[in-house]
Structures are given as structure tokens and as C-alpha cells.
């Protein structure tokens, strides 16, 4: 077979346990589940980094999340598999739904002939709106406190209007799942010809829990009478603000402190989340059907990370923990030549570039990650890493003040180390998948503890070296610009 088309689908914030899950008698992922049954499903796939800005670089350049040091994005000088495919003659296109950390600001457009990143294209307009003369006048007369309350009142009014009409809000109109699929299918059809293509589609509908239709919410919750419909709308209005506050508190409070929440919060929020999952799966169906009918298209479907729903006291996916509700991700590979079946070995996103290179006939490069196309990837060690407590960095790039948080898995065991205070955790994920019992210091797992601790400490030392190199190269580039070179 000649070089195949390749499609990469990434669903922002999809938990691995939503694949194949039922709620209220309804399968949340009927189309993804059917698609996976015809290819390979990896049940122990993990993000190489958390959150989005640490998780995506390994998907495009290979390696681990912090191989570029304590920075985010794809630095100048980094070659992605997309650039390699482009040089080989592939047509390349991307539709990235409303996510600044995946925009051209962080060089994710490298190698793409077509790159739609709606969020970044609207930044100039957003900046102008934020500097409106009327708001500056109110602030100068009434003070910052009054201005902030007015902004919050306006936001709540907008929430109320959206919830009353059952709207499907998104950061950008073109970022809704059906629009991303529509644009992606148009690109796939236009590029499908004598030359192969690579297409990347990124979906954001699970990220805020609220980007679904009212019909999806009713289906998931089981509301069939008018009062049930009204309750959903009221809860949606109430929880947009409440959920945002809980996410912020989850990040600000110490990692081991539970965020305060009511007994019914999990039920309500997971209801909205699962409705968004049902909606996103349905919107993906036309793309999956097109890929299934194609005889020359390899498709990879995954998520950048999962989501916490008070599993360990927190909510959201900020880099404050790397428990498996955040680190585990769905991973499906489908297409001609792909070995079918379920794979239970540990793998990470670091294997995606290797696998795409292999499928397209490119040299494998220097990465040591196993391929996802066939065979047994092995049992580890598989790393997930981040910088503890990094919050909303856009448009920052470097984070010298943040400490490492690293997890390493091999076989049934997972070891976690927090550089800030030296805290350690060790879990047996076979007997304790919820990661509730810390086994550090137990004699029956002393071998696993020693082995994984050594692997993590070696990795931490390596990150220090890589970060020093990154700082040096950055200083050299600044010096070159100051003297008119580069």
C-alpha cells in the first residue's frame, strides 16, 4: 500500500472511563466504541504531560513532556512529524477549536498548509474589547471593585440568556463539534487524491462541561417532563459560576486539601459532562464513517488529559495532581494494516509520532517509544510529568519558579514524586485503581518502590539538564537578535 492518509483526532478533557460507559441506559460513546472495536483500543494509555500545554508537545515532537525544559509549546528548532510529512509530499491541515495553547503562538502551525486556530485569530479583537473606553471610564469613576462587579453581572446575564434558550456556547462559533467535523470533512475530501494527507482535528466540547444541546442533557439525566427540563436549565446557569469558582479554589488551595463542595455537585457536573460526551461522539460520527469507508486512512483518536470530579478532592485538570482520572486517556487506532484488539500494556502519547512515522513510511527517528500499530508495547516505564501549580500561562513560555511533579508506571505499580516537598506515593493499580492506598514503605512492594523511585529521580535530573540547555539557547537567541543576527 502507498503511504496512507493520517487523521489525528484529539478530544480535550475526555476521561478514559467515558469510552464505552452507559448513563441512564444510554451508551455515551456509541460511535467511538464501534470505531474502536474495528481497530486497536489501548486500555492503559496515559498523557505524557498535564495539562494541554505540557501534554501536546510529545504528540508532535515525540519524547517526554519536559524534554524542552520548563517551557511550553514547540520551540524554534524543534522538528515535528507534521513538518516531516510535509517535506515528504503530504498535504497537511488542522482545525483547532478555541484553544490558545494549541495556536500558532506556540508554533503548532509548523508544517501545516492549512491551520485554523479560531481562538488566536480573535485575540486582537478580544484585546480591543477589553480596552473599551466605556469600561475605562467606569473604572476611573467608580473604581476597580465596581467595575469587576459589573463585569460579573454582565457575565451572569449572558449565562442566563444562554441557558434560557438552550444555547450551545463556545469560545468561537466555528469551534463547536459539528462545525469542526464539517470543516474537517471538507478538508479531507478536498485533499484526498494522488497525494496522501495529514489532518488534525481538536475538539473542545468536553472542556467546559456545558457545550452540549438541551436534548443531550435531557437524555443523560432522564428528564422527560417540563419541570425536569427547567431544572436542567437552572442548574446549568447556577453551576457555570459555581463550577468556575471551584476550579479556581482547586488550583489555589494546597494540593492535598479538598475543595469544598455540596453532596450533589458530582452528580450534577458529571451529568453535564456526560451530555457533552454524548454530543461530541454524535458529532464525530460523520468523520469516523468517512475514515471507516476509506481504504487508505489511518486514524488515531485520543484526549490530551482527563478530568477530576472530586475523585481526590479536587475538580478540573490543573497541574496539581497526576492521579489517573486526569492522566489516563482514551486511545484508539484504526485503519488498514492496524492490528485489531484490546491492548492492556502501558503506553503514552509519546508513541503517537513514532506510529505515524511508521504508518507513513518515514524513518522512526531517535525516539524510544513503542509503536501503536501492532505487537505488544511493553509494560513501561511510562512517565507523566508536569510543573506543580502552573495556572493560565498564556502567553508565557517559561516557568522557572515551579517544581516538578512526576509519575512513573511499570506493571501494576505507579510511583508519584512531588519535588516541592519530596512527597511520595506508590499505588498498586490492579488492586487499587482509585489510588486510595499509599504503599510507600511497605516491605512487600519494596522492589517496585526502589525501581520506580530511581527512574523518577534520574528523569528529574535529566529535566534539569534539558532546562539548562533551554535557558542557554534562549539567551543565545536573545543575544543574536540584540546584535542583528537571526
Residue spans of the domains in the chain: they are 5-122+172-482
Report whether 304 contacts 329 (CB < 8 A).
yes
Q: What is the pLDDT of residues 45-77, one digit of tens each?
A: 999 999 999 999 999 999 999 998 898 888 878
Q: Quick one: pLDDT at residue 126? A: 47
Q: What is the pLDDT of residue 124?
A: 47
Over 80: is that where the pLDDT of 174 sits? no
Tell me whether strands 197-203 and 91-96 are parallel, antiparallel or unpaired: parallel
DSSP string, 93-158: EEEE-S-GGGSGGGTTTTT-SEEEEHHHHTHHHHHHHHT-HHHHHHHHHH-HHHHHHHHHHHHHHH
Among the ranges given (29-38, 91-100, 361-370), the one the predictor scored with the smallest mean pLDDT: 361-370
Report, as an integer, the average pLDDT of 179-204.
Answer: 96
Say what percent of the chain tops pLDDT 90. Answer: 60
CATH number of 5-122+172-482: 3.40.720.10
Per DSSP, the chain holds a count of helices (H) and strands (E) of 15, 18
Calculate the average pLDDT of the chain.
87
Stretch 369-394: mean pLDDT:
86
The mean pLDDT of 420-426, rounded to a whole number, is: 95
At residue 181, what are phi and psi to the nearest 5 degrees? -65, -45
Q: What interhelical angle do 265-293 and 30-37 show, nearest 10?
A: 50
pLDDT of residue 120 exceeding 80, the answer is no
Percent of the chain with pLDDT over 70: 87
Reference 15, options 323, 265, 411, 300; nearest CA is: 323
Q: Can you tell me whether residue 410 is helix, strand or coil?
A: strand
CB 453 within 8 A of CB 435: no
> For residue 254, what pLDDT is reported?
87
What pLDDT is attached to residue 399? Answer: 84
pLDDT(428) > 90: yes
pLDDT over threshold 90, residue 6 = yes
Q: Grade residue 298 by pLDDT with cuts at 50, 70 and 90.
A: very high
Q: Predicted confidence band at 128 (pLDDT cuts at 50, 70, 90)?
A: very low
* Residues comprising the chain, all counted: 486
When pLDDT is averaged across residues 251-265 and rounded to a whole number, the result is 89
In whole angstroms, give the CA distance from residue 310 to residue 327: 15
Residue 115: alpha-carbon gap to chain centroid: 19
**Cα-flanking dihedrals φ and ψ of residue 258, to 5°?**
-70, 140
Amino acid at each position: 500500500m502507498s503511504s496512507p492518509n493520517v487523521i489525528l483526532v484529539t478530544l480535550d478533557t475526555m476521561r478514559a472511563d467515558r469510552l464505552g460507559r452507559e448513563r441512564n441506559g444510554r451508551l455515551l460513546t456509541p460511535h467511538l466504541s464501534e470505531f474502536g472495536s474495528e481497530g486497536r483500543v489501548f486500555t492503559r494509555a496515559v498523557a505524557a504531560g498535564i495539562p494541554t500545554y505540557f501534554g501536546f508537545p510529545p504528540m508532535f515532537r515525540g519524547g517526554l513532556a519536559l524534554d524542552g525544559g520548563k517551557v511550553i509549546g514547540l520551540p524554534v528548532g524543534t522538528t515535528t512529524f507534521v513538518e516531516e510529512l510535509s517535506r515528504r509530499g503530504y498535504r497537511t491541515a488542522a482545525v483547532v477549536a478555541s484553544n490558545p495553547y494549541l495556536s500558532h503562538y506556540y508554533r503548532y502551525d509548523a508544517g501545516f498548509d492549512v491551520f485554523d486556530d479560531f481562538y488566536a485569530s480573535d485575540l486582537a479583537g478580544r484585546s480591543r474589547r477589553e480596552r473599551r473606553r466605556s469600561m475605562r471610564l467606569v473604572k476611573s469613576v467608580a473604581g476597580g471593585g465596581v467595575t469587576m462587579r459589573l463585569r460579573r453581572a454582565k457575565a451572569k446575564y449572558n449565562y442566563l440568556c444562554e441557558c434560557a434558550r438552550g444555547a450551545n456556547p463556545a469560545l468561537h462559533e466555528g469551534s463547536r463539534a459539528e462545525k469542526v467535523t464539517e470543516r474537517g470533512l471538507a478538508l479531507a475530501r478536498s485533499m484526498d487524491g494522488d497525494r496522501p494527507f495529514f489532518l488534525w482535528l481538536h475538539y473542545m466540547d468536553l472542556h467546559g462541561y456545558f457545550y452540549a444541546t438541551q436534548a443531550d442533557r435531557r437524555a443523560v439525566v432522564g428528564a422527560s417532563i417540563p419541570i425536569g427540563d427547567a431544572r436542567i436549565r437552572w442548574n446549568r446557569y447556577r453551576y457555570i459560576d459555581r463550577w468556575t469558582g471551584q476550579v479556581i479554589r482547586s488550583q489555589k488551595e494546597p494540593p492535598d486539601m479538598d475543595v469544598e463542595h455540596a453532596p450533589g455537585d458530582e452528580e450534577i457536573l458529571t451529568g453535564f459532562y456526560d451530555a457533552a460526551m454524548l454530543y461530541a461522539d454524535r458529532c464525530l460520527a460523520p468523520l469516523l464513517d468517512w475514515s471507516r469507508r476509506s481504504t487508505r486512512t489511518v486514524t488515531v483518536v485520543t484526549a490530551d488529559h482527563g478530568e477530576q470530579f472530586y475523585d481526590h478532592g479536587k475538580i478540573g485538570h490543573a497541574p496539581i495532581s497526576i492521579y489517573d482520572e486526569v492522566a489516563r486517556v482514551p486511545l484508539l487506532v484504526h485503519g488498514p494494516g492496524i492490528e485489531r484488539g484490546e491492548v492492556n500494556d502501558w503506553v503514552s502519547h509519546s508513541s503517537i509520532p513514532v506510529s505515524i512515522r511508521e504508518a507513513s513510511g518515514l524513518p522512526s527517528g531517535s525516539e524510544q517509544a513503542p509503536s501503536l500499530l501492532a505487537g505488544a508495547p511493553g509494560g513501561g516505564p511510562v512517565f507523566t510529568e508536569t510543573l506543580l501549580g502552573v495556572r493560565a500561562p498564556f502567553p508565557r513560555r517559561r516557568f522557572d519558579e515551579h517544581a516538578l511533579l512526576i509519575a512513573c508506571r511499570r506493571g501494576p505499580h505507579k510511583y508519584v514524586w512531588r519535588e516541592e516537598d519530596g512527597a511520595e506515593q506508590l499505588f498498586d493499580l490492579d488492586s487499587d485503581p482509585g489510588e486510595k492506598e499509599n504503599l510507600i514503605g511497605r516491605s512487600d512492594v519494596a522492589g517496585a518502590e526502589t525501581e520506580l523511585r530511581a527512574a523518577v529521580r534520574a528523569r528529574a535530573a535529566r529535566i534539569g539538564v534539558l532546562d539548562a540547555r533551554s535557558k542557554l539557547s534562549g539567551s543565545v537567541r536573545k543575544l543574536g537578535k540584540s546584535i542583528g543576527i537571526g
